[in-house]
Amino acid sequence: MTERVGDIGEFGLIARIREVLEAEGRLPPGAVLGLGDDAACFTPRPGCEILVTCDAMVEGRHFLAERTSARDLGRRAMVMNISDIGAMGGTPCYALVSLGLPARIPVAFVEDLYRGFLMELNPFSAGVFGGNLTSTNERLFIDITLIGEVRREHLMRRSTARAGDAILVTGYPGQAAGGLHLLVAGSAAPDLANHPLVRAYQLPRHRAREGREVARSGLASAMIDMSDGLLGDLGHICEQSGLGALLVQELLPVSDVLRAAALESRRDPFDWVLGDSDDYELILTCPSERVESLRALIHAVAGAAVSEVGRLTEAWAGIRIRRPDGSEGFSFPAGWDHFRRRGGGSQTG
């Protein structure tokens, strides 16, 4: 018989989580574990800024419990947060995990969820050092607060880009959007769960190591991770730096597998590359003479491809996209909210 959360109660569950953390996790020296309703405590390192980010995932909205393994779900939830810390040049240190748990959830699911968290935290010697468990009536939710550190002089912002800077992206944005489409459309592709686009959606990678190296190098003028899609997050850089942008469509990286899936689905692959997609790739900006140094630096970390896709322009006036025939479209003429309300995607033309 499957043991469920409702069978062992809050304190029983805390004990089980503690076992997983102690057996498989790490905790930076000086940190005091606070599970349940305790406050946790740590000593900040001199000369460092503290970074804090939180992201929540709700069953039925951000994941389907029956479509993903608990371990992948835990990894994905932590990757989202690690990516945010890395995009500011920081290193993840301490995670607080707040779970809303219906009684029907198997205890083994919760244990595997924490194993997923640890798989992503352990490589940074970061750990889960606190959190909260609460029972919910319906849907599981996972809310993670991740605390990181960054040396003051390495802190990366999105507001510090300059007109004329080159725009670089790592990897292949749009893979997750393509994967989500295949899942939602009920693609008949054989072994759908292991399709590379579906894997990119279920278990995206972060670029936190790349982000940290970029920050240490001082080569980039601004950096952000992609969780609102290429246009969305480039829009954040533009808006906060008071600039516009020109993207060149033929420079946008489209993977072969994305192109094939788009063809099969009769979709424009650039909708996925530009629109909402949880890829957690990085967008960087830098003076054009530093592009090759940055490319080499990032490639050295984990072999990531880096594409130069356009440049920043004077004054905030939306993002232009130059098509292969030389014509141009605006992605959003009237600000970001409108774009979002129209449902994402590349609103060019």
Is residue 319 within 8 Å of residue 311, measured between CB atoms?
Answer: no
Question: Strands 306-314 and 166-170: what pairing?
Answer: antiparallel
Element (H, E) at 130: strand 127-135
- In single-letter form, the type of residue at position 339 comes to F
**Phi, psi torsion values for 267, nearest 5 degrees:** -120, 155
Q: How far is the CB of 288 from a second copy (least distance, A)?
A: 27
Q: Residue 239 corresponds to which tokens in the numbers above?
A: 């808006």
Is residue 34 within 8 Å of residue 40, measured between CB atoms?
Answer: yes
Binding site for a second copy (CB under 8 A): 9-12, 15, 34, 37-44, 46, 48-58, 60-62, 84-85, 87-88, 90, 94, 96, 98, 100, 129-132, 134-139, 141, 143, 145, 147-148, 150, 152, 155, 158, 227-228, 336-337, 340-341
Q: How far apart are CA 51 and CA 273, in angstroms?
A: 29
Give the three-state DSSP class for 267.
coil
Q: Which is nearer to a second copy, 272 or 280 (CB)?
A: 280
Residue among 301, 293, 262 nearest 168 (CA): 293
Q: Which is nearer to a second copy, 223 or 312 (CB)?
A: 223
Q: How far is the CB of 136 from a second copy (least distance, A)?
A: 5
Q: How far is the CB of 263 from a second copy (least distance, A)?
A: 32
Q: How far is the CB of 120 from a second copy (least distance, A)?
A: 16
Q: How far is the CB of 74 from a second copy (least distance, A)?
A: 17
Q: How far apart are CA 233 and CA 18, in angstroms?
A: 37
Q: Which is nearer to a second copy, 131 or 345 (CB)?
A: 131
Q: Which is nearer to a second copy, 96 or 254 (CB)?
A: 96
Q: Which is nearer to a second copy, 34 or 196 (CB)?
A: 34
Long-range CB contact pairs, 9-14, < 8 A, 24+? 10/36, 10/133, 10/135, 11/36, 13/101, 13/107, 13/110, 13/133, 14/133
Q: How far is the CB of 252 from a second copy (least distance, A)?
A: 22
Q: Which is nearer to a second copy, 102 or 196 (CB)?
A: 102
Q: Which is nearer to a second copy, 70 or 80 (CB)?
A: 80
Neighbours of 44 (CB within 10 A): 12
Q: How far is the CB of 292 from a second copy (least distance, A)?
A: 29
Q: Which is nearer to a second copy, 269 or 344 (CB)?
A: 344
Q: How far is the CB of 336 from a second copy (least distance, A)?
A: 6
Q: Bridge-partner residues for 130, per DSSP?
A: 34, 96
